Structure 1
Amino acid sequence: MTARLDHLVVAARTLGEGRAWLEGRLNVPTQPGGEHERFGTHNVLLSLGPMAYLEVIAVNPQAPAPTRPRWFGLDTPEVRERLEDGPLLLHWVARVDGLEGLNLAPFGEALDLSRGENHWTLTVPETGSLPGGGVRPSLIVWHTPPPPTRLPDAGVRLLTLRLGTPDPDGLRDTLNALDLVGDVEVYEAPQPELQAMLETPEGPMTL
């Protein structure tokens, strides 16, 4: 099995705040996404080329409260406190062809999900927590063509995803077990942190 980066997750207190923050930094427009009824969230999207994309996600104030904790730690005091300082690159998702034979314990349970015409299976911890504090990827299997096949090309590309963690060897072992391809750099840091090095029409940019 080979895994590759599917998308980056930028979180914000509100979708409007997150969209304005990203568009202001990259000087490119995002595209409408939709609502995630199961988790009470909504998003907008940005192409990172033909194989990857970026989503800005936030709690949808118009949606009923979900029956389980929201994904990506959005219900946790830690993430809510971090978002008080503004939107941030919170997590990333790796695409795989299937989940059969994988030990899903480090990633969470596999949920079948949909948004509009999109259908996918995603690993989500039952607690809604961030896997590895955000640096261990969630795993996704697409059952319909993934968003990059339909998003307009904004001229933005991911150059490198940098993942800082107190346990770099453990994270490397996880990524090696997935046979991850792509420019992902793991380094030692006091706490989990993510940096995305992007090429944009305005030049290099870091999220």
Structure 2
Amino acid sequence: MLKLDHLTIIAPSLAEGVHHVRDALGIDMPFGGRHPEMATHNHLLRLGDDIFLEVIAVDPQAERPAAARWFGLDDAKAVRAAWDDGRRLGGWVARSGEIDVVLAWHGPVFGDKRRVSRGDRSWLFAVPPDGALPMNGLAPSLIDWDGRPTPAAAMPDLGARLKRFEVEHPDPARVAGLYDTLGLADPPDILRGTQLRYRAIIETPHGIRILQ
């Protein structure tokens, strides 16, 4: 089974992403680190014992990687268009301790396994060959922490807790079928909407807030 690991704000720049979260949640996210294999960097916010929020963007100080970056970040125009349209919570990540087994069944959805790192932690992550989000964002990305626990519990606790995670889509039955086929243990709540859009309802020290 796959389990929700973290939510991802895919930002044109790290500063814009952090500012958006500050406006939405009233919380300043701590800096996470850099991913040298992907030439990206992030900020992280704990949302529970095993769930967190990530803001990720291209690291302008890093050399462009040989392979495509994750989360569709190489397509700067598409990232900006989604951002300006208000679709800033653009992706999410599901974890498995058996990434090779999952990819044997669903490799065309998730892509190819790659080893990435941040600081002293390394893990396995599946990325489609072109770096795009799986199924244009409808499916989660796939992570395997390679025998280590999720880093969420070691992050500072700033009082944020994920209460509900939702996806809007014109065809909810299709989405439900996909998530069932992938074996997701805790998929988002599925609502009918005009386009693909994610929404997180988060309890904060300032009350219930919505992030999207």
Q: What is the TM-score normalised by the length of structure 1?
A: 0.90
Give, as a single letter, the amino acid of the residue that structure 1 aligns with 2:30: Q
The DSSP-based 3-state class of the residue aligned with 1:106 is helix
The 3 A distance-change label for structure 1 pair 175 and 87 is closer
The 3 A distance-change label for structure 1 pair 163 and 132 is farther
Question: Are 2:96 and 1:80 aligned?
Answer: no
The 3 A distance-change label for structure 1 pair 62 and 158 is same
Deviations 1:23-43 (A, max 9, x none): 232122312211111221100
Structure with the larger helix share: 2
Whole-Å separation in 2 of the counterparts to 1:192 and 1:155: 29
Spell out the pairing of 1:127-166 with structure 2 (5 A cutoff).
Answer: 127-143=130-146, 144-166=148-170
Deviations 1:54-100 (A, max 9, x none): 01111111111122222111122322322356781110001112121
Partner of 1:4: 3
Deviations 1:104-123 (A, max 9, x none): 21111121211112221111
Partner of 1:39: 38
Whole-Å separation in 1 of the counterparts to 2:135 and 2:187: 19
Give, as a single letter, the amino acid of the residue that structure 2 aligns with 1:164: E
The 3 A distance-change label for structure 1 pair 34 and 7 is same
Partner of 1:189: 193
The DSSP-based 3-state class of the residue aligned with 1:133 is helix
Whole-Å separation in 2 of the counterparts to 1:7 and 1:150: 14
| Percent of aligned pairs with the same amino acid | 39
Greater CA deviation, 109-118 or 40-49?
109-118
Question: Are 2:95 and 1:92 aligned?
Answer: no
Whole-Å separation in 2 of the counterparts to 1:16 and 1:197: 22
Number of corresponding residues? 206
Question: Are 2:167 and 1:180 aligned?
Answer: no
Q: CA RMSD in A?
A: 1.9
The DSSP-based 3-state class of the residue aligned with 1:73 is coil
Runs of 4+ in 1 over 4 A off after TM superposition: 84-87
How far apart are residue 165 of structure 1 and its match?
A: 2.4
Partner of 2:118: 115
The 3 A distance-change label for structure 1 pair 25 and 187 is closer
Contact 2:4-2:51 at 8 Å conserved across structures: yes
Unpaired runs of 5+ residues, structure 2, are none
Partner of 2:28: 29
Whole-Å separation in 1 of the counterparts to 2:193 and 2:143: 26
Contact 1:159-1:183 at 8 Å conserved across structures: no
Whole-Å separation in 2 of the counterparts to 1:80 and 1:70: 16
How far apart are residue 133 of structure 1 and its match?
A: 2.5
Partner of 2:67: 68
The DSSP-based 3-state class of the residue aligned with 2:105 is coil
Give, as a single letter, the amino acid of the residue that structure 1 aligns with 2:89: L
